[in-house]
């Protein structure tokens, strides 16, 4: 246990979606590369107890940790950039804080007191931050506060970090505010007023930012930096330009070039580190930016219109590309639009591989099944993730003559429920946090594609699903060409299925995308991209 670590608090101003999560992760990466133990925590001011019940259309992907927390997608960025495993305590919401305080109140923990926003809610917030700091044994814990300063929901969190500054002192805390620099007027003049107003809003809550991260699509001229510095009360070297990058992996390098690392080390009086990581991140970024080949992958999903709904899948495909020195281009295909009557070859022409990601509910499923049939018949490399594996099993069952085969999630009265809820599962219970969540072990069958990809017999992967392959159909589907190449250690659950009559068709009940990182790409994605590149050279 160690709780003397330092804390950097990241807030955002003016508007959302300006890349605060990437800024947090990039700062973390820059400091990690300098040899510090860095971890990150995300606070979400919304009232949901966790992200698990939110629609990906509204909030993007739900990221799942090893210990089964359903979290904000920024945790995925932290894990990928920092190389850490986040945990349940790495993300909390207003809902979780209020729930905990109300439960304590009911249990009589505050007996006799009036339970109030200050100090009870703020104390709960502070306790959670200190807990994460000590559990992660961090030299530096970066705490990102979701939303924007000025939102109705953020003041209790800002008050909590203000108090932490007083409790821990100036050297042990740093306030970083991320803001967009507006370009207005027909000739693109830069406007700093929104920046100034946002800093003023933060000041009214008692916080003077130490560093300003200025998001901009053009270079920040010196006089603009000086103006921001003097109007916002920060030294000019603490006005950091964070311009748009083509690949987010470039952002930590950009931060270093802007001097953020030196600034933080000096300002927080961090001890100089011996063990500096030599250029691994730079080397990876160089490979990413200089691919030898390009491969296009069709992602057939049901939330393709929201850019972040499949964030980890997108990133994991990119990592698979890095390992194969290839640029992966994604062709997003809305499964809703695919029908059996359509000739799919024009949709999939030129793609090297097809991926069907996770999802819930019947909409778009028949389109996914059509796409999978196309991949099977045309020998297109295929990777199915969770729902994508379940659809692959349904498609195979129908192909094998089991008419009307389906998942009982989509058709409760399906004549052949090849995917179903097991008898041991609760059918009526609460929706929040009740799925099969987090890390589970899986044993791989020798001489399968799965085994060849991992190069080991036992693995652990992250899950988020309710339905399972129906064991009553296992033998029948094996006869029809499926191989159950990954099973739970007691063999009661199918974890990976693959096709024996196809060059590379693999589906996993788990979500490998959550464990893929730019420095350690996931083996299934590496092999899938390899198979797709290979297929491109032989495809008709
Ligand atoms: N809806 C499916 C289930 O609950 C798949 C879930 C997923 O793809 N994450 O089992």
Tens digits of per-residue pLDDT, 394-430?
A: 999 999 999 999 999 999 999 999 999 976 665 555 6
CA of 264 to the centre of ligand 1 (A): 42
Ligand 1 pocket residue status of 454, Cβ below 6 Å: no
Of the pLDDT bands very low, low, confident and very high (cuts 50, 70, 90), residue 1 is very low
Ligand 1 pocket residue status of 409, Cβ below 6 Å: yes
pLDDT tens for each residue of 348-396: 999 999 999 999 999 999 999 999 999 999 999 999 999 999 999 999 9
Ligand 1 atom 5 nearest Cα: 387
Hey, what long-range contacts does 336-340 have (CB within 8 A, 24 or more apart)? Answer: 336/302, 336/363, 336/364, 336/367, 337/367, 338/300, 338/366, 338/367, 338/368, 338/370, 338/371, 339/366, 339/367, 339/370, 340/366, 340/370
- Mean pLDDT is lowest, of 312-326, 362-376, 424-438, 509-523, for 424-438
Helices (H), 88-152: 94-106, 122-135
CA of 489 to the centre of ligand 1 (A): 21
Ligand 1 pocket residue status of 440, Cβ below 6 Å: no
pLDDT tens for each residue of 128-168: 999 999 999 999 999 999 989 988 999 999 999 999 999 99
Mean pLDDT of 465-481: 96
DSSP state of 372: H
Ligand 1 pocket residue status of 374, Cβ below 6 Å: no
Note the residue count of the chain: 540
User: Which of 70, 335, 437, 464 should be mutated for ligand 1, with most atoms under 8 A from CB?
Assistant: 464
Ligand 1 pocket residue status of 139, Cβ below 6 Å: no
Ligand 1 pocket residue status of 358, Cβ below 6 Å: yes
Region of residue 237 (left: phi > 0; alpha: psi -120 to 50; beta: else): alpha
CA of 266 to the centre of ligand 1 (A): 48
Mean pLDDT of 56-79: 91
Q: Among 79, 511, 522, 530, which one carries the catalytic annotation?
A: 511
Ligand 1 pocket residue status of 387, Cβ below 6 Å: yes
Q: Among 386, 416, 442, 451, which one carries the catalytic annotation?
A: 386
Q: Are 371 and 387 in contact (CB under 8 A)?
A: no
Please give the pLDDT value at position 19.
83
Q: Is 391 a catalytic residue?
A: no
For the CA of 511, the closest atom of ligand 1 is: 9
pLDDT tens for each residue of 169-219: 999 999 999 998 877 666 667 777 888 889 999 999 999 999 999 988 888
pLDDT tens for each residue of 250-260: 999 999 998 99
CA of 98 to the centre of ligand 1 (A): 29
CA of 401 to the centre of ligand 1 (A): 24
Mean pLDDT of the chain: 92
Which structure tokens are listed for 370? 């059509």
CA of 8 to the centre of ligand 1 (A): 36
Q: Is 513 a catalytic residue?
A: yes
For the CA of 357, the closest atom of ligand 1 is: 8
Ligand 1 pocket residue status of 130, Cβ below 6 Å: no
pLDDT tens for each residue of 75-132: 999 999 999 999 999 999 999 999 999 999 999 999 899 999 999 999 999 999 999 9
What does the radius of gyration of the chain's CA atoms come to, in whole angstroms? 25
Q: Which residue, chain included where needed, has tokens 């389109």?
A: 367
User: Which of 303, 387, 425 should be mutated for ligand 1, with most atoms under 8 A from CB?
Assistant: 387
Distances (CA, A) of 197 to 192, 223, 224, 271: 9, 19, 16, 35
Q: Which residue, chain included where needed, has tokens 């009740």?
A: 434
Please give the pLDDT value at position 185.
62
Mean pLDDT of 28-50: 93
Ligand 1 pocket residue status of 379, Cβ below 6 Å: no
Ligand 1 pocket residue status of 301, Cβ below 6 Å: no
| More confident site: 59 or 301 | 301
Which structure tokens are listed for 224? 């603009």
Of the pLDDT bands very low, low, confident and very high (cuts 50, 70, 90), residue 17 is low
User: Which of 355, 358, 389, 410 should be mutated for ligand 1, with most atoms under 8 A from CB?
Assistant: 358
CA distance 377 to 384: 16
Please give the pLDDT value at position 424.
64
Mean pLDDT of 284-298: 96
Q: Is 59 a catalytic residue?
A: no
Q: Are 391 and 364 in contact (CB under 8 A)?
A: no
Decide the pairing of beta strands 140-145 and 6-12: parallel
Q: Is the pLDDT of residue 14 over 80?
A: no
DSSP state of 432: T
CA distance 7 to 171: 9
Ligand 1 pocket residue status of 410, Cβ below 6 Å: no
User: Which of 384, 388, 409 should be mutated for ligand 1, with most atoms under 8 A from CB?
Assistant: 409
């Amino acid at each position: 246990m160690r709780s003397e670590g330092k804390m950097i608090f990241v807030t955002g101003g003016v508007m959302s979606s300006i890349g605060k999560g990437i800024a947090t992760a990039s700062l973390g990466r820059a400091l990690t590369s300098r040899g510090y133990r860095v971890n990150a925590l995300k606070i979400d001011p919304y009232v949901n107890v966790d992200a698990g019940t939110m629609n990906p259309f509204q909030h993007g992907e739900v990221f799942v940790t090893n210990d089964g927390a359903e979290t904000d997608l920024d945790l995925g960025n932290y894990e990928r950039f920092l190389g850490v495993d986040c945990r349940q305590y790495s993300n909390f919401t207003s809902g979780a804080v209020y729930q905990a305080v109300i439960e304590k109140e009911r249990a009589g923990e505050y007996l006799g007191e009036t339970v109030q926003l200050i100090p009870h809610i703020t104390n709960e917030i502070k306790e959670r931050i200190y807990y994460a700091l000590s559990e992660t044994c961090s030299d530096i814990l970066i705490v990102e506060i979701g939303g924007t300063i000025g939102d109705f929901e953020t003041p209790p969190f800002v008050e909590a970090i203000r108090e932490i500054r007083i409790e821990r002192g100036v050297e042990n805390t740093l306030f970083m505010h991320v803001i967009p620099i507006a370009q207005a007027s027909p000739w693109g003049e830069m406007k700093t007023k929104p920046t100034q107003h946002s800093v003023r809003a933060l000041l009214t809550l008692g916080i003077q930012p130490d560093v300003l991260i200025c998001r901009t699509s053009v270079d920040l001229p010196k006089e603009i930096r000086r103006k921001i510095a003097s109007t916002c009360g920060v030294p000019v070297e603490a006005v950091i330009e964070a311009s748009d990058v083509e690949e987010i992996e470039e952002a930590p390098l950009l931060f270093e070039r802007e001097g953020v690392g030196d600034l933080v080390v000096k300002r927080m009086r961090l001890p100089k580190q011996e063990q500096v990581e030599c250029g691994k991140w730079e080397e990876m970024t160089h490979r990413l930016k200089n691919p030898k080949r390009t491969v296009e992958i069709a992602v057939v999903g049901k939330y393709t219109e929201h850019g972040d709904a499949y964030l980890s899948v997108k990133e994991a495909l990119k990592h698979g590309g890095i390992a194969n020195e290839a640029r992966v281009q994604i062709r997003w295909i809305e499964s809703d639009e695919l029908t059996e009557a359509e000739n799919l070859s024009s949709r999939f022409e030129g793609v090297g591989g097809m991926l069907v990601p996770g999802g819930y509910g019947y909409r778009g499923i028949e389109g996914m099944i059509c796409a999978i049939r196309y991949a099977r018949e045309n020998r297109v490399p295929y990777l199915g993730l969770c729902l994508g594996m379940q659809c692959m099993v349904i498609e195979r069952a129908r192909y094998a003559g089991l008419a009307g085969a389906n998942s009982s999630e989509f058709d409760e009265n399906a004549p052949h429920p090849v995917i179903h809820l097991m008898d041991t599962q609760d059918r009526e219970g609460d929706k929040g946090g009740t799925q099969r969540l987090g890390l589970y072990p899986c044993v791989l069958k020798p001489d399968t594609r799965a085994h060849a990809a991992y190069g080991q017999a036992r693995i652990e992967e992250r899950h988020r699903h309710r339905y399972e392959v129906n064991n009553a159909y296992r033998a029948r589907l094996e006869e029809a060409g499926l191989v159950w190449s990954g099973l739970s250690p007691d063999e009661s659950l199918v974890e990976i299925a693959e096709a024996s009559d196809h060059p590379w068709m693999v589906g996993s009940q788990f979500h490998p995308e959550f464990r893929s990182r730019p420095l350690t790409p996931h083996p299934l994605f590496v092999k899938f991209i390899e198979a797709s590149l290979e297929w491109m050279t032989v495809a008709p």
